[in-house]
Amino acid sequence: MAKWSDATALVVVDVQVGFGDEDYWGARSNPVSEANIEKLLVAWRDQAWPIVYVRHDSQEVESPLRVGTPGNELMPFVRAIEPDLLVSKSVHSAFLGEPDLHGWLIDHAIRSVAICGIQTNICCETTARDASDLGYSVLFILDATHTFDIVSSSSGKVYRARELGRYTAVNISSSFGRVVYAAELLGGVDE
């Protein structure tokens, strides 16, 4: 078993091919999120720090993330680096998937997580909130996430992806963890 006591696990949420379907998802924020995630993955692996991948196994027939479709696959740059754990989920939080993320982190004496991935305001935020509630120290890497515009079903108002990311940053920093940027974390890693 790896010795990661006091390490921070990089939790990469739902970086899947199906999120590239612009016709399905619509306009997105942060076009550099994947590049930042890739830099973080390389840095974490170079330092032999723990990496967790989370994959959304959608049960919805029309979803580009549905199990058994090409969209369910992790993006190629993610697949290029072997994770220490792969969690599959069909809900928002990585802590409600299989295998048990919380149990795995406890078994490895890991008490801190750095969260990145897709979507900022949904699965990434939910995972960060649950991590905080479970007692983990949370780093939320805002520029290594992205999301999509949402149209309110009640009013028809369009909430822009950029706005949703800012709302998530406020939510996380107010109660659940520390919002950081990839360069802050990568600055401390030997090149």
Predicted confidence (pLDDT) per residue in 106-157, tens digit: 999 999 999 999 999 999 999 999 999 999 999 999 999 999 999 999 999 9
Chain center to CA of 147: 11
Architecture of domain 8-186: 3-Layer(aba) Sandwich (3.40)
Query: What is the Cβ-side half-sphere exposure of residue 93, based on CA atoms within 13 angstroms?
Result: 14
Instruction: Tell me how crowded residue 135 is: count the other CB atoms within 10 A of its CB.
Output: 9
E strands, the chain, in order: 8-13, 51-56, 85-89, 112-118, 137-146, 150-151, 158-159, 178-180
Q: Which pLDDT score is estimated for 188?
A: 56
Residues of the chain with pLDDT below 50 are 190-191
Segment (H or E) for 169: helix 161-171
Q: Which pLDDT score is estimated for 189?
A: 56
